[in-house]
Amino acid sequence: MTRHVELRPGAYHDSVTLMQVSRTVATEPGVVSALVAMATELNLDLLTGMGFDRPDGAGPGDLLVGIEASDDDALTRALARLEAALTDRTPSGSGPAAGAGAEPAPRTVGTAARRAGATVALISTPGPHAFTEAMDALHSDLHVVVFSDNVPVEQEVRLKQEAREHALLVMGPDCGTAVVGGVGFGFANVVRPGPVGIVAASGTGAQQLMSLVDGAGVGISHCLGVGGRDLSSVVGGASTLAALDLLADDEATEVIVVVSKPPAPEVAEAVRLRADKLDKPVVRALLGPGEPDLTAVAETVVTAAGAPWRPPRWWPAPVPRTGSYPTVRGLFAGGTLCDEAMLIASAALGPVRSNIPLRPSWVLEPDLSGSGHQMIDFGDDTLTQGRPHPMIDNSLRIERLFVEAADPTCGVVLLDVVLGHAAHPDPAAELAPAIVRARNLAGARGRDLAVVVALIGTADDPQDLPRQAKALREAGASVHLSNAHAARTAVDLVRGTDD
């Protein structure tokens, strides 16, 4: 084995870029492990945990590279792949390639905004460092998208107080998805322009809604992500209320929808009261027991926009279901999609254990072990520290898929596959062979493992939605553009009522 560690002082890249670069380097043949990240304390701890020596003098403004390869040739290829990946993402006029007469790269958000005439800043630094940059953006009269996760909640509250004082909007922290005037931030689907504005305290929930509405032929004006904690008691819906007011004043928006994971009851009531005062219809998709699922909400939104509803497509599994399916195990990249599936499954099957449980007594063990029905959100902050999000890197979910294939109590595996910009460029290329292998492992033990996929995306997403659906179905899965439909299919298999 050959190990390589280096530190590149002052070579800053945002976390979205580095997640993608790390994955690119890790997929090079002969690479055992790779870490390409800013040298924060967390990432330095990850480096030493991988068996590398900690470089002297490392700081959060330095780029950290650690690669373990099978031999020198593999390491050489990996380093070349690293340089190519970083070069592809280096803005023109900056970095070492810039000419001697080039204008120096801006060193603050405010300077960059003034030079570019920007109105929105995207912050994707490591969470502990996001507050300073976001506050700089607000003081520069910019709306802010904070993609960074692991931002302390007290800092989120302070940022949103500052935004209110400046009549600005903070989208995030942990804002995985936003679309402003057709421009996507973070993980964003390609949607047509139209009359529907979305306020989203949920990334994948927003992506599901946008995809379903777009699939029915209705476009999106804006999707304003506000962060998964915005409707908590601590944050109080600060950005949700501000986003409602902005969309109410937006001429392109005719129908507004608010989507969230289960909110704090008092905050949900505050949102309802604000929505009732607006002159535009507001549809609430606040997930919880007895509330409509996201597909039902999409139908309401499309109808309110004056268009006919088109039920989302689905593709049945290519093989008959012949076994018994005692439990369902959900392996999710999206937290809201996991919540929605748990709400549907628990209403029919009883307790569903999870790392993001609907009830405290349904929590999984810290090592994610347990029995019975289970659904895991692999995109939860605790599972993404120092590693790419599962919408980029499927490795953790694939490992767990094989664990479930070997478990005689597991009958159905429910997966979400989320398309769009910044997501994995071809998720089916990794997941389809893994599904085949998992089904073969279970088959060798005399079991039929049913795999159900919720495929979230639009016809214009770069991954080619029909091709993704075809590959996943040919691997043996049933594929559904509605997460709710996928969850009900999994439930029907467990109950023995699937057609």
C-alpha separations of 337 from 76, 107, 218, 423 in Å:
40, 38, 22, 16
Angle at which helices 203-215 and 335-349 pack, to 10 degrees? Answer: 80
What are residue 377's DSSP bridge partners?
Answer: 332
C-alpha separations of 157 from 153, 261, 334, 335 in Å:
6, 19, 24, 22
**What CATH code is assigned to 109-304?**
3.40.50.261
d(Cα 389, Cα 320) in Å, to the nearest integer? 34
Cα end-to-end distance, the chain, whole Å: 52
pLDDT tens for each residue of 213-256: 999 999 999 999 999 999 999 999 999 999 999 999 999 999 99
pLDDT at position 300:
98
In the block, residue with structure tokens 């999984």: 364
Cβ-based neighbours of 100, under 8 Å, separated by 6 or more: none
- Mean pLDDT (the chain) is 91
pLDDT at position 59:
84
Q: Which residue has the higher pLDDT, 102 or 269?
A: 269
Strands 255-260 and 282-286: parallel
d(Cα 155, Cα 389) in Å, to the nearest integer? 23
> Would you kindly state where each structural domain of the chain is located, as residue ranges?
2-88, 109-304, 314-495
User: Which of 48, 31, 30 shows the shortest CA–CA distance to 39?
Assistant: 48
Cβ-based neighbours of 298, under 8 Å, separated by 6 or more: 208, 209, 212, 213, 216
Inter-residue contact 376 to 355 (CB < 8 Å): yes
Tokens standing for residue 444: 């060798």
pLDDT tens for each residue of 110-144: 777 777 778 999 998 878 889 999 999 999 999 99
- Neighbouring C-beta atoms of residue 126, cutoff 10 Å: 23
pLDDT at position 95:
46
Q: Which strands sit side by side in the sheet containing 282-286, from one edge to the other?
A: 183-186, 177-180, 220-225, 193-201, 255-260, 282-286
Exposed, middle or buried, 48 (CB in 10 Å: 0-12/13-18/19+)?
exposed
pLDDT at position 127:
82
Q: Is residue 93 predicted with pLDDT exceeding 50?
A: no
d(Cα 142, Cα 380) in Å, to the nearest integer? 28
C-alpha separations of 101 from 93, 94, 97, 105 in Å:
10, 11, 11, 12
pLDDT at position 195:
98
What are residue 455's DSSP bridge partners?
Answer: 417
pLDDT at position 285:
92
DSSP 448: -
Inter-residue contact 36 to 64 (CB < 8 Å): yes
- Neighbouring C-beta atoms of residue 266, cutoff 10 Å: 10
The CA angle 380-129-160, to the nearest 5 degrees, is: 75
pLDDT at position 261:
85
Q: Where are the alpha helices (DSSP H) in 445-482?
A: 465-474
pLDDT at position 49:
79
Q: Is residue 366 predicted with pLDDT exceeding 60?
A: yes
User: Which of 97, 80, 115, 87 shows the shortest CA–CA distance to 17?
Assistant: 87
Q: Is residue 7 predicted with pLDDT exceeding 50?
A: yes
Q: Which residue has the higher pLDDT, 382 or 217?
A: 217
Q: Which residue has the higher pLDDT, 337 or 106?
A: 337
pLDDT at position 81:
92
Residue 77 belongs to what H/E stretch? helix 72-88
C-alpha separations of 5 from 36, 56, 64, 142 in Å:
10, 11, 8, 38
Q: Please, what CATH class does the domain formed by 2-88 belong to?
A: alpha beta
pLDDT at position 102:
57
Cis peptide leading into residue 173 (ω within 30°): yes
Inter-residue contact 177 to 185 (CB < 8 Å): yes
pLDDT at position 344:
98
pLDDT at position 44:
84
**What CATH code is assigned to 314-495?**
3.40.50.261
Same fold, 109-304 and 314-495: yes
Q: What is the mean pLDDT of residues 263-281?
A: 95
- Neighbouring C-beta atoms of residue 52, cutoff 10 Å: 20
Q: Which residue has the higher pLDDT, 497 or 215?
A: 215
Cβ-based neighbours of 335, under 8 Å, separated by 6 or more: 202, 203, 204, 228, 261, 356, 377, 379, 380
Amino acid at 345: A
Percent of all residues in the chain with a pLDDT value above 70, rounded to a whole number = 96
What is the secondary structure of 361-390 as a DSSP string? GGBPPTTS--SSSEEEETTSHHHHTTS--T
Q: What is the mean pLDDT of residues 276-305?
A: 95
In the block, residue with structure tokens 């597909």: 295
pLDDT at position 89:
59
pLDDT at position 19:
80
Q: What is the mean pLDDT of residues 313-332?
A: 94
Q: Is residue 104 predicted with pLDDT exceeding 80?
A: no
Q: What is the mean pLDDT of residues 430-454?
A: 97
Q: What is the mean pLDDT of residues 417-445?
A: 96
Q: Is residue 455 predicted with pLDDT exceeding 90?
A: yes
pLDDT at position 96:
44
SS3 at position 206: helix
Q: Is residue 106 predicted with pLDDT exceeding 90?
A: no
Tell me the HSE value of 449 on the side-chain side, using a 13 A CA sphere: 28
d(Cα 36, Cα 43) in Å, to the nearest integer? 9
Amino acid at 390: P
pLDDT at position 60:
79
